Structure 1
Amino acid sequence: MKFEDAANTLATWAARGKDVFTLGDLRVLFPGDREAAFSEGLRRLVRSGLLERAANGVYVYPFGTGDRGGRLERVASAVRRGALNYISLESALSMFGIISQVPIDHLTVMTTGRKGRVQTRWGTIEFTHSARPIVELVDGTVPTEGPLRLARPETALRDLRRVGRNTHLIQEDEVEEIISEFRSRNP
């Protein structure tokens, strides 16, 4: 891959809102290269700063004009592509105000993929495996503007208890009101 062509291709995709790529995505964007040339071209792009390695097999174009705040979610989606992933546990409960602790640079994600923790420059992604049926998972979440669905408050609470996480931060006196308000906005 020629450096200038690669730079133009990545800039074009970033202008469309895509700044996170898996190795497979990059293979599709640069199909003419043999494996050795592709690997060397990818190393050059990373060395030059045109791409940053976010996780194993996941790369970020750092000059994208998209929502940088959602970048950690986009990386999470790419890391567990093919699995159902949704924001839950402490991240979701903090968004709803059910817990007072705000996880900074930490995203807690339930996934049908494997569990694990991924450290990135933008923060830590913690994946917790769920073996529940996909239909139940979808019903317990709502779509967002980002790539990940969001657990309903009652789902996030149930997830927290199911995986045995610390529940002492839950503001029990506000839970019912928050769930009721959320249901009225998201039937």
Structure 2
Amino acid sequence: MQKSIEAQVLGKIKRTKRGSLFFVDSFTAIGNAKAVNKALERLVKSGELERAATGIYVRPVHDDYIGKVSPSVEEIAIAIAKRDRATIIPTGSYAMYKLGLTTQVPLNVVYYTDTSARKIKIGKQTITFKKASSKNLAFVGKTSMLAVQALRTIGKDQITEEEVKQIKAILKKENPKDLQHDLQLAPVWIRELLKTKAE
């Protein structure tokens, strides 16, 4: 019976594309958590799966040139949010990185979320989920959301003219309605800084 669960788990994994992420919860229709856990552990030992983080598994992608490709921190965060039916938005230095304001990938990637706060270790990096108010999660524009979070991180007194120019140029790609909506959620100083673009 135990082997049967492992075979069913492997069958489900092989029906998905490489790079897909799995949790114990992904296989609740196959068996109980304990049995599924054991099956996943054996599949890690056999090389069918890799452990991306505690309780998170991946069927690795193999590239002809660079070899094994591991899932990004963002892919893992999105998979966790999808599993938990949670809203997440990038904040801090990770928002700056995604906007192109810095080339340095932060070791601690922080997301606001509407579920419980927690930290997940992914190799040398950490994903931190911070419980946030509904207002902080109400952004609708992907770019304007990042711009507001990046500006909050840089700070009113630290922002340079070059950074403002760069952010305004990036925001030209944002849907004007989304931008107007998101500016209403931003602190007053950010609204003042960016409103010339929005008008």
State TM-score, norm by structure 1: 0.67
Q: Deviations over 1:139-160 (max 9, x none)?
A: 3x418xxxxxx833123323x3
1:46-125 matched pairs, under 5 angstroms: 46-63=44-61, 68=69, 71-80=72-81, 81-98=84-101, 100=102, 102-121=104-123, 123-125=125-127
One-letter amino acid matched to 1:186: E
Q: Does 1:177 align with 2:180?
A: no
* Higher Cα Rg, which structure: 2
User: Secondary structure of the equivalent of 1:114?
Assistant: coil
Change (3 A) 1:40 1:58: same
For structure 1, which runs of at least 5 residues remain unmatched after alignment? 144-149, 162-166
For structure 2, which runs of at least 5 residues remain unmatched after alignment? 176-199
C-alpha distance in 2 between matches for 1:175 and 1:55: 35
What is the number of residues matched between the two proteins? 166
Change (3 A) 1:7 1:185: same
Using the TM superposition, give the Cα deviation of residue 180 of structure 1 relative to its aligned residue in structure 2, in angstroms.
Answer: 1.7
Using the TM superposition, give the Cα deviation of residue 75 of structure 1 relative to its aligned residue in structure 2, in angstroms.
Answer: 1.4
State TM-score, norm by structure 2: 0.64
Change (3 A) 1:34 1:176: closer
Query: What residue is the counterpart of 1:9 in the other structure?
Result: 12
Using the TM superposition, give the Cα deviation of residue 171 of structure 1 relative to its aligned residue in structure 2, in angstroms.
Answer: 4.7
One-letter amino acid matched to 2:41: R
C-alpha distance in 2 between matches for 1:43 and 1:182: 45
C-alpha distance in 1 between matches for 2:8 and 2:105: 39
C-alpha distance in 1 between matches for 2:87 and 2:105: 22
Using the TM superposition, give the Cα deviation of residue 53 of structure 1 relative to its aligned residue in structure 2, in angstroms.
Answer: 3.1
